[in-house]
Structure 1
Amino acid sequence: GTLSPASPMVGAPAGTTAGARPNDEEEAKRIIRRPGMPTKVVLPPRPTRGAAQKDRGRLTVSSATGGEDERTRSVAAFRRRTQRLKGHVHDQKEKLLREVILPETITIQDLANRMSERSVDVIKMLMKQGQMATINDVIDADTAQLIAEELGHTVKRVAEADVEEGLFDTPDIQDDHALPRPPVVTIMGHVDHGKTSLLDAIRKTHVVTGEAGGITQHIGAYQIVTPAGLPITFIDTPGHAAFTAMRARGAQVTDIVVLVVAADDGVMPQTAEAIAHAKAAGVPMIVAINKIDKQGAKPERVRSELLQYEVQVETLGGDTIEVEVSATQGTNLDKLLEMIALQAELLDLKANPDRPAEGTVIEARLDRGRGPVATVLVQRGTLKVGDLIVAGTQWGRVRALLDATGMTLASAGPSVPVEVLGFSGSPEAGDRVGVVESESRAREITEYRDRVKREVAAARVGGMRSSLVDMMSQLKTAGRKEFPLVIK
């Protein structure tokens, strides 16, 4: 009874506030009018304290003007729906046809960029040809050309080898500058037939004592002067099966091949190999039948065995000179040198010393204390200390020139073998050496060669990543019965 007068008062504020809220809201609605624009009503954000948290998304015109929970489709969803209804016909962009410039090797990504195509499409085309590739794989120019032409582009092939133009084989302008040069003689033959001992007997020094098991582990190059006063350059090639490539390269720089055959052993597999190298190089051959002082030596047997390899010696009515020698006793060595000199005279060897040097690396190694050391046989021109030289992927400035005895030289003329110090790294045996005019040119050439070497290796590895099935099908087409396989 006591509270009854107050009860309306208790309820009144609640009622008034409840009734007042919509009106407040109306006032709170701000109406924005802009000339020439539809009227825009902006709602203030609702106080969320106490109420259930509602996630408010982005404030857009549609969310502001639309009802509270009414959701409309996004533009993208609408577009997708219309596309689905129309049967997914999207307007094809005009295809650009380009002239694509192709180097010798190119990555798939680069090729796609040059053609303005998607790299996925290029990979699809390679897959159709049965080649699995990723965008970073390197493909050769022929494959790239096929792909580009199939996609309707025109192709222009460029050889980056233009960088090397004018480095080697520039003809001598005046022949009257050409002077006689010493002959370069390569000594070949089977293991332990006495090649190095023969060379030692000629040079009156002993290299073989320091060799492991009497096998020459490197190519040595020495220049000697015959009793008649003629200088002769000798290259001693290793007589080991592992060095076939090196020996083949030895035959590239040589003028005359001396084939050493032991009289007590006859013609062996590597003797036959050496004959093949000499014939491939197209150089005259002199047969030295060694170890004639040994018991059981049969020089006649050697002569008849050589006939199997189409080598007919003079005593059997052929045109190949043969000399019976003994390295240990020193027999007939003068006669051998005389024959070499005679053969050299017939060849009439000349070279122009007054030009930038060209030559070939005979061997190269990394020396402790001296850095990369390369034995170079100068073939044309004169190599001087201070020259900028390029060999394979290495270049450098000649710091010092040393001869076979270790004496320093100021320059080296044609047919002179020298050790060259100053390379940035070890070149490979058989690399051509050339003198260039500037450091930038040297860098350009070596960087190009290095890149080519890497890319060729990458392309080769990429081609090798095939399955066993591919390998077997290739064997079937090649018609091979056996296949060498390494099981890892």
Structure 2
Amino acid sequence: MVRINKLAKDLGFKNSFLIEKCQEYGFVHIKHHANALTDEQAGLLRSKLVDRAAQSVSIKEKPDTSQVKKVSTEKKSSGPAKVVSKDAEASAVRRRIPLWKQKAREDLIKGRWKEITKVSQQKRPRRFEKRTKEAPKEVKVVAPKEKESKVTVELPATVKDVSAALGVKAGDIISKLLIGHGLCATINQGLDGEIVEMLGIEYGVEIELKQAKEDEDEFSLEEAVDKDEDLKERAPIVTFLGHVDHGKTSLLDSIRKTDIVSFEAGGITQHIGAYRVETKGKSVVFLDTPGHEAFTAMRARGANVTDLVVLVVAADDGVMPQTEEAINHARAANVPIVVALNKVDKPEANIMKVKQQLASLDLNPEDWGGKVQMIETSVVTKQGLDTLYDGLLLEAEILELKAVAKKPARGIVLEAHVHEGRGVIANLLVREGTLKHGDIVLCGQTYGRVRAIYNDHGKEIKEAGPSTPVAISGLSTCPEAGDKFYSIKDIQKAREIASKRERKIREVTLSGRQHVTLDNLYKKIEEGQVKEIKVILKADFKGSVEVIKKSLEEISTKEVRTRVLHSGVGGITETDILLADASDAVVIGFHVVPEDKAKTLAESCGVDVRLYKIIYDATNDIKAALEGMLEPDKIENTLGSVEVRKVFKVSKVGNIAGCYVKSGKILRSSLVRLIRDSVVLYDGKIATLRVVKDDAKEVRAGFECGIRIAGYDDIKVDDIIEPYEIQHIARTLK
């Protein structure tokens, strides 16, 4: 049975023409192109149409155009013409066949049936043939990208960017991230640099990470190399730290020779937080921070604001808990310390006792052979003020503090607030360059043009050089304390960078910053982020502090160690949490609990706080964490011996070794070595392990099996395949 549409396609006719012929030849049941003819009817119809057309062509090879026109005219006038002669029938056939098919019909009549059938199916339209032939060329253009050994990826990068750089499908990368790294990602999700580099290693491509152009422009000031001839000496920046009521503010007020209480009333500089003092042609900038909280917040943002720290200790009170905290803050910021022994005029002052306490904290005075200046001062009698000032200048000379003034300004934001009449007032400390009126300033997530500059005395100035504290107006919003500010030329670029920073901070806020905890410590170690455990220790008694601190230090080794950043007596305070947040440390409390505010702050910052009642519990947890940092021992265990007795070559698969297990066993998951003449030729994995036609997980001695080694086909008879496995044994500190 042959359908009309199939036969019409084979003969090159229209369905309507073939249905008309069927009616003419007596096949009255054919009324639709889906009707079918028997094989005999189809053969009869094919022979009649082909034979008659052939006879007409034999009479006259070229068609008579006049006759065709005549028949066409007759059709218009009298309806469909009946076939009365061979010429008329041939003309009727041509009349119903499109012009582009007439050549095919003539070739068909000449006997090239099979060829013309293929041509008729693919002939129209010709332009599609070119596209079909050219299509494979477009696919081949992408192929060389996969062979590149080194590519450059610009950060921040998404899965789509990495896919384009590596020449790998985005779906494959998403699957690899999910299976290999446990990361559920989308095609537009951003990836950090470590994940991007890891993907490059897994695909065998070296990836060079590159920051975006905006970031390069943003940090061009910081990365620029200054010329030696442009460097000029700058004033040191000094911060006063110490315990409450030890006289920090009074001492700073005496050095500045001002009265803060009367000076701040009604002035916009009452919160500037930094003051410049000039004596004998030398200048020193004093930074007045509101306690350790602001100091830590600035350092947590990577802003090393101060060059020197003055540790104020009352001679009548001695070293107090906040004094130790101040020392730890200064050491964590890696800045020199100058000790001011204040209130020496009081009868109960005991200078020798204070020096002994400081010496126990590794602050040895110069008169005892140490390196720390300890200057006796008194606000009442003005004793030692000039000596302290000279000591700070001496430390500054040793540090060789220099800066370039002839370049765009950059520095640190001390604090900011909103003034009713002037808008946003930002208190800045210029570290390098010169800040001028009208400059475009970018700091953190905000930007703006400098409309006014005020010095530390409240006077409006036109420009400010290095180591100069100023207050400016003109920013769009209040920046954060500790943000770095830059002076750039293009306000459009400043707007783009500020918007980008705002989006990035929003993403970080949503994802949350993850601190080191004893639970996630091992994961951090695998990522290469942790080399030591930083601890902040608080206990109920001084003796407990010393015992726990000594125990933690004793379990340290050359490979891993515990570093106690701060230890003290009393409850866990907000200062402890801030220090842990800035230093990424773990807080340990022994028979103490955190304050309400400290507990809330720890939860919001994600700081790990561990409370213990037994010393051994604390040391055991730290010991277990340290042992997890040790690299495990790797022991190789040979599983057996397998002999290759025959090699089967399978197309599109590779060589398969027909083997006999001589001893031991071989596992599907085991590693294997291929040995020939006692020489190891290849070390790799098993791709397939089968017994007859079934996959096997294990084959023991005395049985035969088929083995295909992954990525290796040079297998010969009498080779030895040695299966083995590597056991990872956890190490202990002992």
Q: 2:182 aligns with which of 131, 139, 142?
A: 131
Q: Does the 8 Å contact 1:219/1:235 carry over to 2?
A: no
Higher relative contact order (Cα pairs below 8 Å, separated by 6+ residues): 1
Letter in 2 for 1:123: I
Identify if the C-alpha distance between structure 1 residues 148 and 268 changes in structure 2 by more than 3 Å, giving closer, same or farther: same
d(CA) in 1 for partners of 2:326, 2:495: 37
Q: Does the 8 Å contact 2:292/2:326 carry over to 1?
A: no
Displacement, 1:272? 3.0
Q: 2:449 aligns with which of 368, 387, 397?
A: 397
RMSD: 4.5
Determine whether 1:162 maps to 2:213.
Answer: no
- SS of residue matched to 1:167: helix
Determine whether 1:171 maps to 2:221.
Answer: no
Displacement, 1:475? 10
Determine whether 1:304 maps to 2:304.
Answer: no
* Deviation digits for residues 8-55 of structure 1 (CA, Å, limit 9, x no counterpart): xxxxxxxxxxxxxxxxxxxxxxxxxx993122799xxxxxxxxxxxxx
Displacement, 1:149? 5.4
Displacement, 1:302? 1.4
For structure 2, the residue ranges without an aligned partner over 5 or more in a row are 1-10, 20-30, 37-138, 265-269, 534-585, 590-598, 607-734
d(CA) in 2 for partners of 1:457, 1:419: 29
Letter in 1 for 2:157: I
State the partner residue of 2:278.
225
For structure 1, the residue ranges without an aligned partner over 5 or more in a row are 1-33, 43-61, 68-92, 212-216
Q: TM-score, normalised by structure 1?
A: 0.67
Q: How many residues align?
A: 400
Q: 1:372 aligns with which of 424, 435, 448?
A: 424
Displacement, 1:335? 3.1
- Taking the TM superposition and a 5 Å limit, the aligned residue runs for 1:24-423 are 36-39=13-16, 65=34, 96=143, 98=146, 101-108=152-159, 111-112=162-163, 119-129=170-180, 131-135=182-186, 136-147=188-199, 150=202, 155-160=207-212, 161-164=215-218, 166-173=220-227, 175=229, 177-207=230-260, 220-226=273-279, 228-241=280-293, 243-246=295-298, 252-279=304-331, 283-294=335-346, 296-328=348-380, 330-345=382-397, 347=399, 349-423=401-475
- SS of residue matched to 1:122: helix
Q: Does the 8 Å contact 1:289/1:325 carry over to 2?
A: yes
The structure richer in strand per residue is 2
* Deviation digits for residues 59-109 of structure 1 (CA, Å, limit 9, x no counterpart): xxx997469xxxxxxxxxxxxxxxxxxxxxxxxx98955466533343345
Displacement, 1:282? 5.0
Q: Does the 8 Å contact 1:163/1:444 carry over to 2?
A: no
State the partner residue of 1:427.
479
d(CA) in 2 for partners of 1:336, 1:378: 24
d(CA) in 1 for partners of 2:587, 2:466: 50
Identify if the C-alpha distance between structure 1 residues 298 and 107 changes in structure 2 by more than 3 Å, giving closer, same or farther: same
Displacement, 1:304? 0.8
Aligned sequence identity (%)? 40
Bigger mean CA offset, 229-238 vs 155-164: 155-164
d(CA) in 2 for partners of 1:352, 1:182: 12
Q: Does the 8 Å contact 2:272/2:471 carry over to 1?
A: no
* Deviation digits for residues 298-356 of structure 1 (CA, Å, limit 9, x no counterpart): 22221111112221113334332222223355443233223334444555544443333
Q: Does the 8 Å contact 1:355/1:381 carry over to 2?
A: yes
Letter in 2 for 1:190: H
Identify if the C-alpha distance between structure 1 residues 166 and 155 changes in structure 2 by more than 3 Å, giving closer, same or farther: closer
Letter in 1 for 2:155: E
Q: TM-score, normalised by structure 2?
A: 0.46
d(CA) in 2 for partners of 1:220, 1:298: 32
d(CA) in 2 for partners of 1:414, 1:472: 42
d(CA) in 2 for partners of 1:242, 1:432: 15
d(CA) in 2 for partners of 1:151, 1:349: 48
Identify if the C-alpha distance between structure 1 residues 321 and 164 changes in structure 2 by more than 3 Å, giving closer, same or farther: same
d(CA) in 2 for partners of 1:189, 1:279: 14
Displacement, 1:452? 4.9
* Deviation digits for residues 344-385 of structure 1 (CA, Å, limit 9, x no counterpart): 455554444333323222223344443332222222232111
d(CA) in 2 for partners of 1:270, 1:64: 99
Identify if the C-alpha distance between structure 1 residues 204 and 473 changes in structure 2 by more than 3 Å, giving closer, same or farther: closer
Identify if the C-alpha distance between structure 1 residues 189 and 150 changes in structure 2 by more than 3 Å, giving closer, same or farther: same
* Deviation digits for residues 405-438 of structure 1 (CA, Å, limit 9, x no counterpart): 2211111122211112222333333333332232
